[in-house]
Amino acid sequence: MSIAHVITEVNTYAYQLMQKIVSRQATVAVVGLGYVGLPLAVEKAKVGFSVLGIEQNPRRAHRVNAGQNYIRDVKDDELQELVRVGKIRAYTGFDNLPEADVIVICVPTPLDKNRDPDITYIKNVTNEIALRLRPGQLVTLESTTYPGTTQEVILPQLEENGLKVGKDFFLAYSPERVDPGNKRFTTQNTSKVVGGITPTCLEVAYTFYGQTIKQVIPVSSPAVAELTKVFENTYRAVNIALVNELMLLCDKMHLDVWEVVEAAGTKPFGIQTFFPGPGVGGHCIPIDPFYLTWKAREFDFHTRFIELAGEINIEVSYYVVEKVNQALNMLKKAINGSCILVLGVAYKKDIADVRESPAVRIIPQLLAKGAKVIYHDPYVSEVEPRDFHGYTAGSAALTEKNIREADCVLILTDHSCIDYEWVVQNAKIVVDTRNATKMVGKSREKILKI
């Protein structure tokens, strides 16, 4: 007998909720309409669910209700149509939560100043949900966090008012796997891991995600799903650190690390290609490993390998600044007083996301050494002081004049729309951290690669 049949017999709330989900009559509340929440809200609304978006940033909530998209992975016309027909509506408060049958938490989980996990947003949102929780609701957490958060933090808060998990309400963890700017893998066709507090919780959550996700992977507990998420990005962080350390060695050996990596990548087995760069960025790779190392200390276990990877990925930002210094020395200039034109402040190409971008660490270092920094990024019109440690500016036009007047051009993000050959031809000298100038045929003597 399947779990679904067991549920039919012993849990009316679960059965009724699953019926509403399968028939697309359920109302879904998505808490947090950022890079994860808004694409999720749109996918759910597209298949017929009514979606309540809860976004405490009034500007974002207003833009959603006006059908104005601000997430590149969401199609403008799809959001506009869903708002027009009333399938998506955004609110800045939580009072509409009792209307929802499913509540999905998609809030940020940053690190504090000591690089320890900060789950304040999760706790605050859970408290708001607990005040309004009613029988028959499913609550799922998608925010990246350390193993144990769902069971040890969220569950006790939700049960404070006497409702019992697996009986009166249902709780699960299903980590987001959003890759901003990825045109091949989207919310819909990226497999989804789900872990429930109880078998009934798992079955309800599995049913919910199965309506819009092509492949749902059930696991035995929320903790397994939580660890799966942090392991995925720790794996990437460690391998990026490995190739970054190779880059530092190649620099001393006067070898081209890009040539080495690309040659190694021709082997049809036993290797996955990772590329060096000015650091790691985005919400996941620079942060997730620290959630794991923090949790490991609870068990008197020190993740030395992971912590070393974090150190290397931070160290390369200082290496980039030293490369700029070397480039200016070749022109008999000091970094103090020089003008540095930074190309790209997003954490990867062809997106507008600056979260944990290498530029966030590198630009303040250049400023501290007395450089004048201007930047150009076709996707980021301005940067905020809170993101860049006090630095604020708007994107400068990428003109021949601005390139020629800069003492050094520093490529931190290899946006596809930039003509790098033209940049090199007009620049005094270029420091390329992304191999963006690989195909440049002329003036290669002006290029310093990391």
Q: What is the CATH number of the domain that holds 26?
A: 3.40.50.720
Q: Region 266-282: what's the mean pLDDT?
A: 94
Q: Region 132-137: what's the mean pLDDT?
A: 98
Total domains in the chain come to: 2
Task: Please check the confidence at residue 8 and state whether its pLDDT lies above 70.
Answer: no
- Residues 201, 172 contacting (CB under 8 angstroms): yes
Task: Please check the confidence at residue 5 and state whether its pLDDT lies above 60.
Answer: no
Catalytic residue among 284, 339, 408, 417: 284
Question: How would residue 181 be classed by pLDDT, with cut points 50, 70 and 90?
Answer: confident
Instruction: Report the residue count for the chain.
Output: 450
Asked whether residue 175 falls in the same domain as residue 204, the answer is yes
Q: What are the beta bridge partners of residue 138?
A: 102, 170
CA distances from 258 to 104, 165, 250, 273, 432 (A): 42, 52, 10, 11, 11
Asked whether residue 165 falls in the same domain as residue 53, the answer is yes
Q: Is 284 a catalytic residue?
A: yes
Q: CA torsion angle for 55, 229, 48, 73 (degrees, to 10)?
A: 70
The pair of three-digit structure tokens given for residue 48, joined into one six-digit string: 């017929």
CA distances from 274 to 66, 235, 247 (A): 41, 11, 12
Asked whether residue 45 falls in the same domain as residue 172, the answer is yes
Q: Which of 154, 186, 220 corresponds to the end of one domain? A: 220
Residue 97: inside a domain, yes or no? yes
CA distance 436 to 445: 15
Amino acid identity for residue 142 in this structure:
E
Task: Please check the confidence at residue 9 and state whether its pLDDT lies above 60.
Answer: no
- Residues 48, 88 contacting (CB under 8 angstroms): no
Asked whether residue 212 falls in the same domain as residue 242, the answer is no
Amino acid identity for residue 361 in this structure:
R
Percent of the chain with pLDDT over 70: 98
* Model pLDDT, residue 104: 98
Please tell me which residue, 312 or 442, carries the higher pLDDT value: 312
Q: If DSSP codes are grouped into helix, strand and coil, which group holds residue 31?
A: strand
Question: How would residue 386 be classed by pLDDT, with cut points 50, 70 and 90?
Answer: confident
Question: How would residue 10 be classed by pLDDT, with cut points 50, 70 and 90?
Answer: low
Specify the DSSP element, H or E, that contains 304: helix 304-330
Please tell me which residue, 409 or 184, carries the higher pLDDT value: 409
Task: Please check the confidence at residue 443 and state whether its pLDDT lies above 90.
Answer: no
Asked whether residue 240 falls in the same domain as residue 216, the answer is no
CA distance 301 to 295: 9
* Average pLDDT of the chain, as a whole number: 94
Residue 247: inside a domain, yes or no? yes
Asked whether residue 86 falls in the same domain as residue 185, the answer is yes
CA distance 404 to 186: 40
Amino acid identity for residue 218 in this structure:
P
Q: CA angle at residue 137 from 43 to 4, to 5 degrees?
A: 85
Segments forming the whole domain that contains residue 194: 3-220
Q: Which of 179, 194, 220 corresponds to the end of one domain? A: 220
CA distance 135 to 202: 17
Asked whether residue 246 falls in the same domain as residue 357, the answer is yes
CA distance 376 to 402: 10
Which of 158, 138, 261, 267 is closest to 208 using CA atoms? Answer: 138
Residue 204: inside a domain, yes or no? yes
Backbone angles phi, psi at 221, to 5 degrees: -160, 160
* Model pLDDT, residue 6: 44
The pair of three-digit structure tokens given for residue 145, joined into one six-digit string: 């966090």
- Between strands 88-91 and 50-54, the pairing is parallel
Residue 134: inside a domain, yes or no? yes
Q: What are the beta bridge partners of residue 249?
A: none
Q: Which residues contact 291 (CB under 8 A, 6 or more apart)?
A: 109, 117, 144, 145, 146, 230
Q: Region 37-49: what's the mean pLDDT?
A: 96
Asked whether residue 85 falls in the same domain as residue 151, the answer is yes
Task: Please check the confidence at residue 2 and state whether its pLDDT lies above 50.
Answer: no
Task: Please check the confidence at residue 1 and state whether its pLDDT lies above 60.
Answer: no
Backbone angles phi, psi at 276, to 5 degrees: -70, 170
Question: How would residue 318 be classed by pLDDT, with cut points 50, 70 and 90?
Answer: very high
CA distance 150 to 356: 25
pLDDT tens readout for residues 71-89: 988 999 999 999 999 999 9
Lowest mean pLDDT among 197-201, 204-208, 351-355: 351-355
Q: Which of 189, 220, 251 corresponds to the end of one domain? A: 220
Residue 227: inside a domain, yes or no? no
Task: Please check the confidence at residue 172 and state whether its pLDDT lies above 50.
Answer: yes
Residue 369: inside a domain, yes or no? yes
Residue 228: inside a domain, yes or no? no
Residue 231: inside a domain, yes or no? no
Q: Region 154-172: what's the mean pLDDT?
A: 97
Asked whether residue 356 falls in the same domain as residue 294, the answer is yes
Asked whether residue 276 falls in the same domain as residue 410, the answer is yes
Asked whether residue 253 falls in the same domain as residue 194, the answer is no
Asked whether residue 254 falls in the same domain as residue 289, the answer is yes
Q: Which residues contact 299 (CB under 8 A, 6 or more apart)?
A: none
